[in-house]
Amino acid sequence: MALLPRLSATVGPNWRRPARTSLGFLLRRPGLAAFLRAFSRAMASKQEPQAQCPSPAAGAVTSYDYLVIGGGSGGLASARRAAELGARAAVVESHKLGGTCVNVGCVPKKVMWNTAVHSEFMHDRVDYGFESCENKFNWSVIKEKRDAYVSRLNTIYQNNLTKSHIDIIHGFAVFTCDPTPTVEVNGKKYTAPHILIATGGVPSRPPESQIPGASLGITSDGFFQLEELPSRSVIVGAGYIAVEIAGILSALGSKTSLMIRYHKVLRNFDSIISSNCTEELENAGIEVLRYSQLQSFSRGRIK
């Protein structure tokens, strides 16, 4: 969700251009603080009780024309565009720059997918006249190279922000109760008439009350933290992320099972794609456990 007050003429002539509503919805500045308080109350009624926003306090406050919460693809692009138009901008990020895609999404996933493709090539070598091929696979080698590649991308993003004269604020942003739009990060306050919330999301894990032992499992983020190839893997889910990870692990030598609730994977895709993908997974040696409903986890066992 993005919060963009109506752009004022105080930043510079280029900022008089209309904002694209695809970035979020427009709010007039006088009502922004009230909206944030109402939004916080509405969210608190749906989620666990949260602490109240930090009270206004005396002290130095750093001011910007444009403040972005979240250093992912959308937030970074928005901040750089704002800087190009003459705004003094800053980005608040608690983790690595680049967001999901760069750090735990499509970029490292494609590296692992290409690794699996090489394994498939070696599997088919005899059909192409190759009589021998060294099949030993070292997970730590590709993990080290993959992580180094991602780290280089993080550095490129940081350098691009520096070149654009955009400040990087490390930490978590919390909206305060100040009369003007203000956030607090690590005890310091930052204010801006225009604040973009571009925090993205994280994989959800079922609560223990719903599935006992769920905390023993990992999410797709945890896949990229594995230090070695599991000898045995169980993937729960029928979406494309589950299918990709199952295919990668199986191709690289892990005995893999895929638990799905219905009769085939990718049910929201084209029916031919869904059916053929399910069949090919089984042809590749993946055990597809149809009509499975996960009930509990325990160490060394899934029920």
Q: Quick one: 142 and 94 in the same domain?
A: yes
126 within a domain of the structure (yes/no): yes
Q: Quick one: 189 and 252 in the same domain?
A: no
Q: Quick one: 154 and 235 in the same domain?
A: no
Burial class (CB in 10 A: 0-12, 13-18, 19+), 205: middle
Give the CATH number for residue 278.
Answer: 3.50.50.60
121 within a domain of the structure (yes/no): yes
Domains identified in the chain, total number? 2
Q: Quick one: 175 and 230 in the same domain?
A: no
The confidence score (pLDDT) of residue 26 equals 34
300 within a domain of the structure (yes/no): no
Question: How far, in Å, are 116, 137, 139, 149, 174 from residue 132 at the CA level?
Answer: 19, 15, 21, 31, 59
The confidence score (pLDDT) of residue 36 equals 52
Q: Quick one: 86 and 164 in the same domain?
A: yes
Name residue, tokens 């399910």.
Answer: 278
The residue ranges of the chain whose pLDDT is under 70 are 1-59, 300-303
- H-helix segments, 85-182: 99-104, 106-123, 139-163
Q: Quick one: 225 and 162 in the same domain?
A: no
88 within a domain of the structure (yes/no): yes
What pTM value is reported for the model?
A: 0.76
Q: Quick one: 98 and 181 in the same domain?
A: yes
Amino acid at 49: P
Q: Quick one: 282 and 181 in the same domain?
A: no
| Three-state secondary-structure class, residue 68 | strand
Q: Are the C-beta atoms of residues 102 and 154 closer than 8 Å to each other?
A: yes
Q: Quick one: 191 and 231 in the same domain?
A: no
250 within a domain of the structure (yes/no): yes
State the Cα angle at 281 between 279 and 283, rounded to 5°. Answer: 70
List the domain range (segments joined by +) for residue 279. 214-289
The confidence score (pLDDT) of residue 238 equals 96
Q: Quick one: 171 and 249 in the same domain?
A: no
Q: Which of 144, 165, 197 is the last residue of a domain?
A: 197
Q: Quick one: 69 and 192 in the same domain?
A: yes
297 within a domain of the structure (yes/no): no
Q: Quick one: 181 and 131 in the same domain?
A: yes
Question: How far, in Å, are 11, 143, 179, 261, 277 from residue 193 at the CA level?
Answer: 10, 43, 11, 48, 50
Q: Which of 197, 229, 244 is the last residue of a domain?
A: 197
Name residue, tokens 């045995």.
Answer: 232
252 within a domain of the structure (yes/no): yes
Q: Which of 169, 197, 225 is the last residue of a domain?
A: 197
Q: Are the C-beta atoms of residues 236 and 242 closer than 8 Å to each other?
A: yes
118 within a domain of the structure (yes/no): yes
